[in-house]
C-alpha cells in the first residue's frame, strides 16, 4: 500500500468513526479530522469538500461490503447470501458498534429525498448490491443448486429490501426488533424457495410454531 | 359519529396533510392547525401536546391500516397479504401523495433512536402489524391453504421487513427503486413458499429471467 493509499484508508476509517459518533446529521469535516491521527490539511488535500469525502466513503463501503460477501470467490452461493444477510442485519464483526453505524446509515438514507447527489449515489450502490445478489442467484442456478423458476432480479429486490428493512428495524425498534425471527426466515427463504428440492420441507429447526 | 369524533377525525386528517407537506422534522402544532378548518384551540382542547397528538395519530394510522388489510373479514389470506404489501410499498389509493407520506414516515423512523417515546410507540405498532401477518398465516394454515412448515412469526418478521424496506427504498431511491420487482417477488413468495402445492412451480408470468 502506498503512503497515499494508507492516508486515504485512514481517512475512511476516521469518517466511519465520526459517523458512528455524531450521526449523519452532525457530521462535519472537523468531526472527521478529530478522529484522524494526521493533519486535517491532509483530508482537505485528498477531498475538496464533505460531499466529496462522503462520496468516496460510500464507494469504499460498497467495495468492502462486496469483498466481505464474496470473499476470495468460488464460495457456496447459499453461504454468500447468508453472510450478506448477517452483515447487513446483525453487523460486521469488526469490533465496531454496528448499531451506531446502522443509525448513521438510516439518518443518511432519510436525507436522500432532500439531496439529489446523495440519492444518486445511494441508487448506484443499491443497483450494484442487487446485481451482486442476482449474480449469486444465477451462479447457484448454473451450478444446478438453485431453482430455475426463481427470477434473479426479482429475488434480489426482495432479498435486499428484507435485509435492509430488518437493519432499519434494528435501529428503530432497538431490542424490540425481531432480528432472530428475520434471520430464521431468511434461512427458510434460501432453503425452501431457492435451493432445488428444498421446497416446503422441514428446514433446520423449529417448524410450524404457534 | 359524534361531533367530538368528527373533530378528532378532522384533526387526524390535518396531521396527515401537515406531515406530507412539512415532513416529520418540521411538523408543528401550527402547521397542523394550518391544515385544520376549525379553531386551533380545538386541537389543544383534544391534545395537550404535539407528542400527545402524534401518539393518537399513530394509533389512528395503525387502526386504518388493519381495517384496509382485513376489510370486513372472511377474506382470502393470500389476498390480504397482497393488499398489505400493496398498501405499504405502493401506497393506499386515497388520492394523497403516497411518496410524501412515506418520506414523512421515514423521517419519523430515523428519529426513533433519539426519542424513546416514539420508539416505544413504533415498537408497539410494529408488534401489532407482525401479529396481524402471523394471524393471517395461521388462518391460511388452518384452512389448509398454507404450508404448515412455515413459521408464522418468522414469516411475519421477514414479510414486514421486506415491505417496509421496499417502502423506504421507494422514498430513498425515487424512480430507481425496484418496486415492480419487489412486488413480483412478494407474489412469488406467497405462491411458492406459502401456498400448499405451489412450491418451486411456475407461478404467474415471467420465469427464470436473465
Residue B85, pLDDT > 60, answer yes
Query: In which residue are the cell numbers 406531515 written?
Result: B19
Residues shown for chain B: 210
Grid cell digits, residue A126: 443499491
A146 to chain B: which residues are within 8 Å by CB?
none
CB B134 within 8 A of CB B164: no
Closest alpha carbon to A110 in B173, B192, B120: B173
Tens digits of residue pLDDT in A113-144: 989 999 999 999 999 999 999 999 999 999 99
Q: Which residue in A162, A186, A207 is closest to B151 by CB distance?
A: A207
pLDDT band at B210, cuts 50/70/90? very low
Q: How far apart are CA B50 and CA B30, in angstroms?
A: 10
CB B57 within 8 A of CB B15: yes
Query: In which residue are the cell numbers 466481505 written?
Result: A68
Closest alpha carbon to B120 in A106, A172, A100: A172
Residue A204: predicted pLDDT: 42
Domain check: are B41 and B67 in the same one? no
With 0-12 CB in 10 A as exposed, 13-18 as middle and 19+ as buried, what is A116?
Answer: exposed
Residue A205, pLDDT > 70, answer no
Higher pLDDT, A81 or A25: A81
A115 φ, ψ to 5°? Answer: -145, 100
Domain check: are B7 and B67 in the same one? no
The answer to whether position A119 is within a domain reads yes
Question: Residues with Cβ < 8 Å from A115, sequence gap 6 or more?
Answer: none
pLDDT band at A13, cuts 50/70/90? very high
Residue B167: predicted pLDDT: 95
Query: Alpha helices of chain A — where are they, by DSSP H?
Result: 3-22, 29-34, 40-46, 50-70, 77-85, 98-111, 116-142, 152-173, 179-189
Q: How far apart are CA A200 and CA B117, in angstroms?
A: 41
Residue B2, pLDDT > 50, answer yes
Residue A34 to chain B, least CA–CA distance (Å): 23
Domain check: are A77 and A22 in the same one? no
Domain check: are B93 and B133 in the same one? yes
Q: What is the mean pLDDT of residues A12-39?
A: 92
Q: Which domain holds residue A26?
A: 1-47
Domain check: are B119 and B153 in the same one? yes
Residue B94: predicted pLDDT: 58
Enter the ipTM: 0.88
CB A192 within 8 A of CB A80: no
The answer to whether position A95 is within a domain reads yes
Q: How far apart are CA B102 and CA B100, in angstroms?
A: 6
Residue A202: predicted pLDDT: 41
DSSP A71: T
pLDDT band at B3, cuts 50/70/90? confident
Q: Which residue in B123, B138, B209 is closest to A153 by CB distance?
A: B209
Residue B118, pLDDT > 50, answer yes
The answer to whether position A168 is within a domain reads yes
Per-window interface: B 77-106 vs A, CB < 8 A: 103, 106
CATH of residue B122? 1.10.357.10
Residue B95: predicted pLDDT: 54
Q: How far apart are CA B180 and CA B158, in angstroms?
A: 18
Residue B166 to chain A, least CA–CA distance (Å): 5
Q: How far apart are CA A31 and CA A21, in angstroms?
A: 9
Domain check: are A129 and A40 in the same one? no
Q: How far apart are CA B158 and CA B135, in angstroms?
A: 14
CB B188 within 8 A of CB A159: no
**Taking CA atoms, what residue in A is nearest to B199?**
A199
CB A160 within 8 A of CB B163: no
Q: How far apart are CA A169 and CA A131, in angstroms?
A: 24
CATH of residue B40? 1.10.10.60
Per-window interface: B 113-152 vs A, CB < 8 A: 113, 119, 122-123, 126-127, 130, 138, 141, 147-152
Question: Residues with Cβ < 8 Å from A72, sequence gap 6 or more?
Answer: none
Give the H/E segment covering residue B5.
helix B3-22
SS3 B145: coil
Q: How far apart are CA B37 and CA B162, in angstroms?
A: 38
Residue A95: predicted pLDDT: 54
The answer to whether position A199 is within a domain reads no
CB A157 within 8 A of CB B187: no
Residue B197, pLDDT > 90, answer no
CB B69 within 8 A of CB B86: no
Identify any residues that bridge with A127 across adjacent strands, giving them in sequence order.
Answer: none
* Contact across the interface for B208 and A148, Cβ inside 8 Å: yes
Q: How far apart are CA A155 and CA A51, in angstroms?
A: 33
Grid cell digits, residue A98: 454496528
Domain check: are A38 and A84 in the same one? no
Domain check: are A172 and A87 in the same one? yes
* B199 at interface of A, judged by CB pairs closer than 8 A: yes
Domain check: are B80 and B183 in the same one? yes
The answer to whether position A43 is within a domain reads yes
Higher pLDDT, A170 or B74: A170
Domain check: are A43 and A74 in the same one? no
Q: How far apart are CA A203 and CA B5, in angstroms?
A: 50
The answer to whether position B206 is within a domain reads no
The answer to whether position A94 is within a domain reads yes
Tens digits of residue pLDDT in A170-201: 999 999 999 999 999 999 999 999 999 865 44
Closest alpha carbon to B69 in B7, B153, B156, B10: B156
Residue B198: predicted pLDDT: 65
Higher pLDDT, A93 or B119: B119
Grid cell digits, residue A167: 437493519
A100 to chain B: which residues are within 8 Å by CB?
none
Query: In which residue are the cell numbers 381495517 written?
Result: B67
Question: Residues with Cβ < 8 Å from A141, sequence gap 6 or more?
Answer: A147, A148, A150, A152, B208
Residue A75: predicted pLDDT: 82
Lowest pLDDT segment from A20-24, A148-152, B83-87, B128-132: A20-24
Closest alpha carbon to A165 in A181, A151, A150: A181
* Contact across the interface for A153 and B178, Cβ inside 8 Å: yes
Identify any residues that bridge with A195 across adjacent strands, giving them in sequence order.
Answer: A146
Domain check: are A91 and A190 in the same one? yes
Lowest pLDDT segment from A20-34, A41-55, A81-95, A120-134: A81-95
The answer to whether position A201 is within a domain reads no
Domain check: are B39 and B106 in the same one? no
* Contact across the interface for B203 and A149, Cβ inside 8 Å: yes
- Total count of domains within chain A: 2
Q: What is the mean pLDDT of residues B50-67?
A: 93
Residue A96: predicted pLDDT: 61
Residue A5: predicted pLDDT: 84
Amino acid at each position: 500500500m502506498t503512503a497515499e493509499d494508507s492516508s486515504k484508508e485512514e481517512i475512511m476509517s476516521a469518517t466511519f468513526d465520526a459517523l458512528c459518533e455524531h450521526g449523519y446529521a452532525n457530521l462535519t469535516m472537523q468531526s472527521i479530522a478529530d478522529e484522524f491521527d494526521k493533519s486535517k490539511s491532509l483530508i482537505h488535500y485528498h477531498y475538496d469538500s464533505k460531499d466529496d469525502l462522503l462520496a468516496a466513503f460510500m464507494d469504499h463501503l460498497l467495495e468492502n461490503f462486496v469483498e466481505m460477501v464474496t470473499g476470495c470467490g468460488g464460495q457456496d452461493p447459499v453461504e454468500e447470501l447468508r453472510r450478506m444477510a448477517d452483515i447487513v442485519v446483525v453487523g460486521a464483526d469488526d469490533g465496531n458498534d454496528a448499531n451506531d453505524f446502522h443509525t448513521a446509515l438510516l439518518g443518511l438514507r432519510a436525507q436522500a429525498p432532500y439531496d439529489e447527489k446523495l440519492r444518486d449515489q445511494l441508487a448506484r450502490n443499491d443497483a450494484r448490491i442487487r446485481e451482486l445478489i442476482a449474480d449469486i442467484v444465477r451462479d447457484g442456478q448454473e451450478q444446478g443448486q438453485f431453482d430455475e423458476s426463481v427470477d434473479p432480479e426479482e429475488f434480489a429486490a426482495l432479498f435486499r429490501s428484507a435485509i435492509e428493512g430488518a437493519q432499519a428495524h434494528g435501529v428503530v425498534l432497538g431490542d424490540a426488533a425481531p432480528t432472530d425471527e428475520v434471520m430464521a426466515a431468511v434461512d427458510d427463504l434460501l432453503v425452501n424457495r431457492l435451493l432445488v428440492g428444498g421446497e416446503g420441507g422441514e428446514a433446520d429447526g423449529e417448524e410450524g410454531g404457534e
